[in-house]
Amino acid sequence: MDLATLRDEYTFGLNRISLLFDKVGFETTFLVSVNRLVIEQSAAEILSTASMKFVSWRARALLPEDANVTYLRSVRGPLFSQDPVRRGVWEGGTVTFVAMQLAYHLGFEQAILIGVDHSFATQGPPNKAVTSAGDDPNHFDPSYFGKGYRWQLPDLETSEYAYRLARRQFEAAGREIVDATVGGKLTVFPMARFEDVVGSRLPK
């Protein structure tokens, strides 16, 4: 999968996606991060990017608004917010769902998921805060939640519920979400080959 082909596309990156920027040769258009632990530990890293940032209102002391930042207020769910900037956003157990609500709000007709494997080697109670003892086996970079990094264990059940909300909302509006993840375990969205859904959009 050649992610460099996305250079001229609108892209959403999540949390510590900046670890990938040098490898792919571009920064994502948008960067979304709402988890308190991630923002507290990676604020400087997030600020260093040129991406338009959407972050939790709770991070306003760490990520000033004048640094190309838009704050998102978290609300109780379950719900899919069509206007997350003004009305707030339900996090749905995963920042990916937050990005889907933003993509809908910004008017995208198609959202293509890449790298949503929906499986974790690290096991434990959902949302429990833990400290990594070594390399991260769950993400694209071993330092993503590497040794000493505090993070919360995933809530896959809530995430799947949120993803179903997103699929229904997109399809009700005549839009779509497709999953081009290679070897992913998520089964909520129609699967597609990256080369088919991205390659067909590129100039010949």
Angle among Cα 98, 154, 65 to the nearest 5 degrees reads: 35
Predicted local distance difference test score (pLDDT) of residue 167 = 98
What pLDDT shows up at residue 204?
A: 36
Terminal-to-terminal C-alpha distance of the chain:
18
Residue 33 has pLDDT above 80, yes or no: yes
pLDDT in tens, 116-142: 988 888 889 999 999 999 999 999 999
Confidence grade of residue 202 (pLDDT, cut at 50, 70, 90): very low
Q: What is the pLDDT of residues 66-118, one digit of tens each?
A: 778 999 999 998 999 999 999 999 999 999 999 999 999 999 999 999 999 88
Whole-number Å distance between alpha carbons of 102 and 89: 9
Q: Which position has the higher pLDDT, 94 or 2?
A: 94
Task: Provide the pLDDT for residue 121.
Answer: 87
* Whether pLDDT at 200 is above 60: no
Q: Is the pLDDT assigned to residue 203 strictly greater than 70?
A: no
| Tens digits of residue pLDDT in 140-150 | 999 999 999 99
| 34-53: average pLDDT | 94
What distance in Å separates the CA atoms of residue 42 and residue 46, rounded to the nearest whole number?
6
Mean per-residue pLDDT, 156-178: 97
Instruction: Count Cβ atoms below 10 Å from residue 93 Cβ, excluding itself.
Output: 22
Determine the Cα–Cα distance for residues 85 and 79; give it in Å rounded to an integer. 14
Phi and psi at residue 169, to the nearest 5°: -65, -45
Mean pLDDT in residue range 8-34: 95
User: Which residues neighbour 138 within 8 Å (Cβ) at sequence distance 6 or greater?
Assistant: 120, 121, 122, 144, 145
Position 60 scores a pLDDT of 87
What pLDDT does residue 199 have?
62
